[in-house]
């Protein structure tokens, strides 16, 4: 397998998109910020529900979305009303006990039953999309991956909802649906008034790019300034709301933050004859032991496999940010580029364009490091904050954040350094365009992520064509009638004055 290349499953999405566009004609897309607040809407306005399970490499989240019942005025907005974190590992973690994958979801499905009114359970669609953890398991053990999916399907079918499918989505879909989600929530698809006018002059960027960092893969998706057809597998075409979008996307398998760490450790192992290793990306005083034999079963590290005279590797932290950055840099092969420009590993990347929303682990890590304030930090400020954090001794970090699990806490230094390396070295963001990256967890009440875009697509809630202007509301109708009546009365009065001039105004009368 070529790392960072998801072309194997790239065809599926183009097919899905092209066949779907014909169907995208049902509901008008009215983004959140143009709508009344959910809580201000009459109770019977909200009606439909949908459930999406995001089966990620590290864990599964169940999302419940809600949308207006009133479709006749062709307006509506979909909102997240519930999120439930499934206990235990991601579904790919059940490769040895596949029959337990489905039952792990039961508790969250019960929670969704409590949120959705009973009479709507049967008509509520439920989808499960599995991402990079399952893509890796499928590469490593296809049979186990199929059994895990059968187990989750069995559980979802036994829930009182309308089961619509449980599948592994491609990296391209993950990137595209994340881009759709954030632009839907930001209100970028449907524009009106001056914004539409400005966009027609092409003076402002219309959509935001999407940067998604998971545990096992990472996605970059945006509308480039110039479209080249150098790498067709990275281009997607959408027609949304009467407008065409040519979108660049790429998903790097094995470049989520957890798999990137595994890759880094595998490389470090190559250069040691010893069963112990100093690691600059862990805090000074931190120690971890890993089993060497299990380590190379993973498709992200298997290319680095060699025979070692020891079965356990002992790692000790050094807390050296600069050394850690240099170490991580080796994960990005920048030497060969068969295109006009590349990110890394010979993958095409057009020049970066516009604003970017960075979510999922990009947000979790930066938020932990207090680097997500509204007044954005410069690239230098971010680098020095991470450097300072990495230099703190482990006992001090552990004391301050005693509520956070040791496994996660110990990896924030690496994750912070990795995020900067990926953005600065991988994608080549500069001091200048760094300010255009916005780290965001939620937009309104909805989490930023691929799930909402996935559901909007599968429920045909994004129209391909701009719908006709909605009929007037009752208030506007009454106002218009009053205005027309006033105009009519004025015209009659004027005519009467002209043709029946009062005697006092007639010529000769003083």
* Residue ranges that bind Ca ion, judged by CB under 5 A: 56, 214
Q: Which of ligand CDP, Ca ion, none does residue 280 bind (CB under 5 to 8 Å by kind)?
A: none
- Closest CB to ligand CDP among residues 213, 247: 213
Q: At what angle do helices 451-458 and 171-186 cross, to 10 degrees?
A: 90
Is residue 267 within 8 A of residue 305, CB to CB? The reply is no
Q: At closest approach, how far in Å is the CB of 474 from ligand CDP?
A: 46
Residues that bind ligand CDP (CB under 6 A): 56-59, 90, 131-133, 214-217, 256-258, 360-361, 364-365
Residue nearest to ligand CDP according to CB distances in the complex: 214
Q: Which of ligand CDP, Ca ion, none does residue 181 bind (CB under 5 to 8 Å by kind)?
A: none
Q: Which of ligand CDP, Ca ion, none does residue 358 bind (CB under 5 to 8 Å by kind)?
A: none
- Closest CB to Ca ion among residues 56, 175: 56
- Closest CB to ligand CDP among residues 131, 170: 131
How would you list the strands of the sheet with 287-291, edge to edge? 276-279, 312-317, 287-291
Q: At closest approach, how far in Å is the CB of 131 from Ca ion?
A: 5
Is 219 annotated as ligand-binding?
Answer: yes
Region of residue 171 (left: phi > 0; alpha: psi -120 to 50; beta: else): alpha
| DSSP H stretches of helix in 80-232 | 106-115, 132-140, 142-158, 171-186, 193-200
3-state helix, strand, coil in the chain (%, to 5): 45, 20, 40
Q: Which of ligand CDP, Ca ion, none does residue 258 bind (CB under 5 to 8 Å by kind)?
A: ligand CDP
Q: Which one is catalytic: 82, 174, 318, 411?
A: 174
Q: How far apart are the first and last CA of the chain?
A: 105
Q: Which of ligand CDP, Ca ion, none does residue 240 bind (CB under 5 to 8 Å by kind)?
A: none
Q: At closest approach, how far in Å is the CB of 374 from ligand CDP?
A: 21
Using CA atoms, how far apart are residues 6 and 246, in angstroms rounded to an integer? 19
Backbone angles phi, psi at 244, to 5 degrees: -90, 140
Is 430 annotated as ligand-binding?
Answer: no
Is 56 annotated as ligand-binding?
Answer: no
Q: At closest approach, how far in Å is the CB of 314 from ligand CDP?
A: 23
- Closest CB to Ca ion among residues 57, 301: 57
Using CA atoms, how far apart are residues 423 and 427, in angstroms rounded to an integer? 5
Residue nearest to Ca ion according to CB distances in the complex: 214
Q: At closest approach, how far in Å is the CB of 297 from ligand CDP?
A: 18
Find residue 63's DSSP bridge partners.
52, 83
Is 291 annotated as ligand-binding?
Answer: no
Q: At closest approach, how far in Å is the CB of 169 from Ca ion?
A: 10
Using CA atoms, how far apart are residues 203 and 442, in angstroms rounded to an integer? 27
Using CA atoms, how far apart are residues 361 and 217, in angstroms rounded to an integer? 11
Is 218 annotated as ligand-binding?
Answer: yes
- Closest CB to ligand CDP among residues 133, 416: 133
- Closest CB to ligand CDP among residues 7, 205: 7
Question: Between the CA of residue 187 and those of 66, 239, 360, 454, 498, what are the distances in Å?
Answer: 17, 16, 20, 17, 53
Q: At closest approach, how far in Å is the CB of 165 from ligand CDP?
A: 18
Is residue 266 within 8 A of residue 308, CB to CB? The reply is no
Find residue 42's DSSP bridge partners.
none
Using CA atoms, how far apart are residues 253 and 259, in angstroms rounded to an integer? 9
| Residues 6 or more apart in contact with residue 151 via CB below 8 angstroms | 94, 98, 99, 100, 101, 102, 103
Q: How many CB atoms lie within 10 A of CB 374?
A: 5
Backbone angles phi, psi at 67, to 5 degrees: -140, 165
Using CA atoms, how far apart are residues 228 and 248, in angstroms rounded to an integer? 10
Known catalytic residue at 465 = no
Find residue 218's DSSP bridge partners.
213, 252
- Closest CB to Ca ion among residues 401, 408: 408
SS3 of 179, please? helix
Binding residues for ATP: 215-219
- Residues annotated catalytic, as ranges: 174
């Amino acid at each position: 397998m070529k790392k960072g290349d998801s072309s194997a499953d790239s065809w599926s999405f183009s097919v899905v998109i092209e066949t779907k566009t014909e169907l995208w004609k049902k509901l008008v897309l009215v983004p959140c910020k143009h709508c009344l607040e959910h809580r201000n809407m009459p109770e019977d306005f909200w009606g439909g529900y949908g459930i999406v399970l995001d089966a990620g490499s590290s864990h599964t989240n169940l999302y419940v979305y809600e949308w207006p019942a009133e479709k006749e005025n062709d307006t509506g907005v979909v909102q997240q009303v519930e999120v439930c974190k499934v206990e235990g590992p991601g579904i790919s973690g059940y490769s040895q006990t596949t029959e337990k994958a489905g039952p792990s979801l039961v508790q969250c499905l019960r929670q969704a039953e409590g949120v959705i009114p009973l009479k709507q359970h049967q008509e509520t669609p439920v989808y499960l999309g599995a991402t990079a953890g399952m893509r890796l398991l499928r590469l490593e053990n296809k049979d186990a991956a199929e059994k895990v999916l059968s187990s989750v399907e069995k559980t979802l079918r036994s829930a009182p909802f309308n089961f619509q499918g449980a599948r592994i989505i491609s990296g391209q879909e993950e990137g595209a649906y994340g881009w759709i989600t954030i632009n839907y929530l930001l209100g970028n698809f449907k524009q009106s008034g001056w914004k539409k006018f400005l966009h027609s002059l092409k003076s402002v960027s219309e959509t935001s790019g999407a940067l998604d960092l998971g545990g096992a893969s990472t996605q970059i998706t945006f509308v480039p300034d110039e479209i080249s057809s150098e790498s067709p597998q990275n281009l997607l075409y959408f027609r949304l709301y009467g407008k065409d979008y040519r979108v660049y996307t790429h998903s790097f398998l094995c470049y989520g933050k957890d798999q990137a760490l595994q890759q880094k450790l595998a490389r470090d192992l190559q250069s040691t004859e010893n069963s112990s290793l100093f690691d600059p990306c862990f805090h000074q005083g931190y120690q971890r032991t890993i089993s060497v034999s299990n380590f190379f079963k993973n498709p992200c590290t298997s290319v680095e496999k060699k025979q070692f005279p020891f079965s356990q590797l002992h790692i000790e932290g050094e807390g050296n940010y600069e050394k850690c950055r240099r170490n991580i840099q080796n994960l990005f092969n920048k030497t060969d580029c068969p295109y006009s420009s590349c990110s890394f590993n010979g993958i095409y990347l057009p020049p970066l364009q516009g604003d970017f929303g960075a979510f999922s682990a990009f947000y979790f890590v930066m938020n932990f490091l207090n680097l997500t304030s509204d007044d954005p930090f410069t690239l230098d400020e971010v680098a020095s904050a991470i450097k300072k954090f990495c230099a703190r001794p482990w006992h001090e970090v552990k004391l301050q954040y005693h509520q956070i699990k040791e496994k996660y806490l110990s990896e924030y230094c690496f994750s912070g350094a990795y995020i900067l390396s990926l953005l600065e070295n991988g994608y080549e963001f500069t001091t200048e365009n760094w300010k255009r990256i916005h780290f965001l967890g939620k937009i309104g009440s909805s989490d930023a992520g691929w799930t909402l875009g996935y559901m909007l697509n599968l429920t045909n809630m994004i129209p391909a064509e701009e719908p006709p202007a909605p009929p007037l509301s009752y208030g506007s109708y009454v106002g218009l009638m009053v205005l027309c009546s006033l105009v009519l009365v004025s015209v009659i009065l004027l005519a009467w004055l002209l043709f029946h001039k009062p005697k006092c105004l007639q010529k000769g009368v003083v």
